[in-house]
Amino acid sequence: MPSRRSFIAGMLAAGIAPKPTWADAGNPAFLSAGMKPDGSYVLCGLSADAQITFERPLPARGHAAAAHPNLADAVAFARRPGTYAIVLDCVTGQQKARLTAPHDRHFFGHGTFSADGDLLFTTENDFEAARGVVGIWDARHNYARIGEFSSGGIGPHDIKLMPDGTSLVVANGGIETHPETGRTKLNIPTMQSNLSYLSFDGKRLGQMQLDRAHQKNSIRHLAVSAQGDVAFAMQWQGDLTADLPLLGTHHLKTEKIAFAEQASIRNMNGYLGSVAVSRNGNHIATTSPRAGILQNFKGTELFDQTVITDACGVASSKTDFIVTSGTGVVQSRSGLSVLHDVAWDNHLIAI
Amino acid sequence: MNRILLLSTLIFAAAPVFAQDIDIKAIVDGHVLPRYQSLAVEAADLAQSATTDCRPDSDTLIAAYHDAFDAWIGASHLRFGPSEQDDRAFALAFWPDPRGSTPKALSALLQDQDAAVASSREFATVSVAARGFYALEFLLFDPQFSNTANADYHCALVQAVATDISLNASAILGDWETGYGALMSKPGNDTYRTQTEAAQQLFTSLATGLEFTSQTRLGRPMGTFDRPRPNRAEARRSARSLRHVQLSLRATQELAALISIGHVGVDKAFEAAIQRADTLDDPVFAGVTAPQRRLRIEALQQNIDLIRNMLAQEVGPALGIAAGFNSLDGD
């Protein structure tokens, strides 16, 4: 009897296949980019118990990824200031499409799908105008670019779908960069970060900007609870002798802002790498690869913390948080710990 | 994987020992303070020279400009604490400038004859792009600005920029001398809790300074092989591009010797890079467009990257600094 995979391959060849789903890709629970011992770059699927379910090559260092909500499509984004993103069919390992940023744009490394998976939104730099944009790509038509709109600020980084399924939240980090000067930051004295809430056609539904004390706090990464609370993780661009929280939550409707004081510049070495919210919305986890720490908050109160060298990627599983590290470790707070031959890159994406 | 594992083993194995061996006070007193003192002295002289004779063809002013700029480059890797207060270092050195903000901001001031030049307090609120050494270079060396029709306003603007540089330099020095230097020299306070934190800050400034020299001072004019960008060389109008590489290499060599105690390889690698820079004979990196000369600039960049690798993989881990895949990525 043919295996399911060869059965599907046969159907694909016959042109009558149902579109492959995540089950066909070995039911990965997470995606992460990484680097192999030989220096090559890959995108991997990871199961809930931290085993690698698939591994596909990438042409250059990745950053984050986006998982199609139904189909086994993973979009791997190049690291800033990259101009490519690759859509992989995670069943066959084939490249399904390649997104190339328009000539005066580059990607920032993050993107998200609409709830039905029809549209993909990417954060991009319109570098000559020094403004952030959100690019729109049509997943139904081979990921053709169909439009763009303002991200509501400079240097958009992470982007997430809001639980209403009809709007987006974007972390505009506020930092101006230009591909000519690589990753050099050009406007630190005047930078201004914000969180922007946007409809799919680019209408600004709301915006949150922190007060003057936080002028050099760059909002980079986001996690959204089912209740619409947005956890935002920041990176401090000023002198490290300042001490401010780097993690906060915001709710658009109530306009309430709360800070997790223990995720401070001091404790986290001025730098948070990733943030995740638990499935029930009660806990927030954040990492700092520079401090080598995973912090777990209940609300905004520190619940526990774990020392993990070069910890960066974090995502929620059913009942816990899973963390990845540049040393190859995938571990959970509840004792799971698996060492792989892959240096895990910045982000772990839950499927 | 083996390399990564080995690295993380090293981090744990060697962490606490060497950071304790570094004499932070000797670095503050013998490296940081003299460099910021020199900057304050030369910048005061620059302001004085501009007050005496503000014309772009004044030999005294041009000499003072070069001396003060030299002093800044010698301190420009020490970007923490007092230099970051009130964005002082940005106001001293706004570069790179890929969108041409400095000439734009200066043109606007000249066009409007902006009254901000009359008061140093007012001038401190002007865009950082129109302040500092790189703005002064345009005013003194770029014909579009040095031959302006309105000599009086040009003169006032030169004086305002020079005075602003001097005020910033003395403010940085003041903070170092009246508190920050002591906080760093004697860890165990809110700013530096431990000796290791102070050592890490100094190591970071060393690594960042070398990264800037390799990737920006050299990398920017190099562009790509197919598209070299000689017009992007730092301070090329006053022919200082290579000089900045030489000065910053010597400054970081001095700091590295104090941090990487007894690491012969690091010092040798610095010597090789400095020797190559000293014999390059290409003051504004015009050679980036000529394959043979370009090779020599690339070789210099490789010399510097070799130092960076040694620091990241051998010296950093000994100081308890994770040379991590993610911790160094920064995004």
Helices assigned H by DSSP within A26-162: none
Res. A213: pLDDT tops 60: yes
CA B241 to chain centre: 12
Res. A1: pLDDT tops 50: no
Strand order from edge to edge, sheet including A41-46: A52-58, A41-46, A30-35, A343-350
Least confident of A54-63, A315-324, B32-41: A54-63
Residues of A with CB under 8 A from a CB of B: 35, 37, 63, 79-80, 109, 128, 130, 157, 178, 180-184, 186, 188-190, 220, 235, 238-241, 243, 271, 273, 289-290, 292, 309-312, 325-328, 341-346
Q: Which residue of A has its CA nearest to B233?
A: A181
DSSP output for A111-133? EEE-TTSSEEEEEEEETTTTEEE
Interface pTM, i.e. ipTM: 0.81
Q: How confident is the model at residue B17 (pLDDT cuts 50, 70, 90)?
A: very low
Taking the CA atoms of B28, B33, B36 and B38 in sequence, report the sign of the dihedral they define. Answer: negative
Nearest to B8 among A220, A235, A309 (CB): A309
Residue carrying structure tokens 């990607």:
A107
* Mean pLDDT, chain A, integer: 92
B180-234 pLDDT, tens digit per residue, is 999 999 999 988 988 888 998 999 899 999 999 999 999 999 998 999 999 999 9
A16-32 pLDDT, tens digit per residue, is 556 889 888 888 999 99
Interface subset of B 93-122, CB within 8 angstroms of A: 96-99
Instruction: Decide if B78 contacts B36 (C-beta within 8 A).
Output: yes
* Mean pLDDT, chain B, integer: 91
pTM of the model: 0.83
Nearest-CA neighbor of B262 among B17, B25, B4? B17
Q: What are phi and psi of B311, to 5 degrees?
A: -65, -45
Tokens read off for A261: 């004081």
Q: How confident is the model at residue B323 (pLDDT cuts 50, 70, 90)?
A: low
Q: Which residue of B has its CA nearest to A63?
A: B331
Average pLDDT on A61-69 reads 93
Average pLDDT on B223-246 reads 96
Q: Residue A5 has what pLDDT?
A: 54
Tokens read off for A32: 């992460």
Res. B15: pLDDT tops 50: no
User: What is the distance between the alpha carbons of residues A189 and A205, in angstroms, rounded to a whole number?
Assistant: 28
First-to-final CA distance of chain A: 30
Work out the percent of chain A whose per-residue pLDDT is above 90: 78
Q: Residue B9 has what pLDDT?
A: 38
Nearest-CA neighbor of A317 among A287, A288, A280? A280
User: What is the distance between the alpha carbons of residues B148 and B150, in angstroms, rounded to a whole number?
Assistant: 6
Average pLDDT on B81-103 reads 93
Instruction: Decide if B54 contacts B151 (C-beta within 8 A).
Output: no
Beta bridge partners of B51: none
Nearest-CA neighbor of B158 among B185, B183, B176, B138? B138
A271 to B4: CB separation less than 8 angstroms, yes or no: no
B85 at interface of A, judged by CB pairs closer than 8 A: yes
| Conformational region of residue A109, where left means phi above 0, alpha means psi within -120 to 50, and beta covers everything else | left
CA distances from residue A145 to A88, A96, A140 in whole angstroms, order as listed: 17, 15, 11
User: What is the distance between the alpha carbons of residues A43 and A32, in angstroms, rounded to a whole number?
Assistant: 6
Res. A113: pLDDT tops 90: yes
Least confident of A178-187, A191-200, A311-320, B278-287: A178-187
User: What is the distance between the alpha carbons of residues B74 and B70, in angstroms, rounded to a whole number?
Assistant: 6
User: What is the distance between the alpha carbons of residues A221 and A347, in angstroms, rounded to a whole number?
Assistant: 10
Q: Residue B196 has what pLDDT?
A: 85
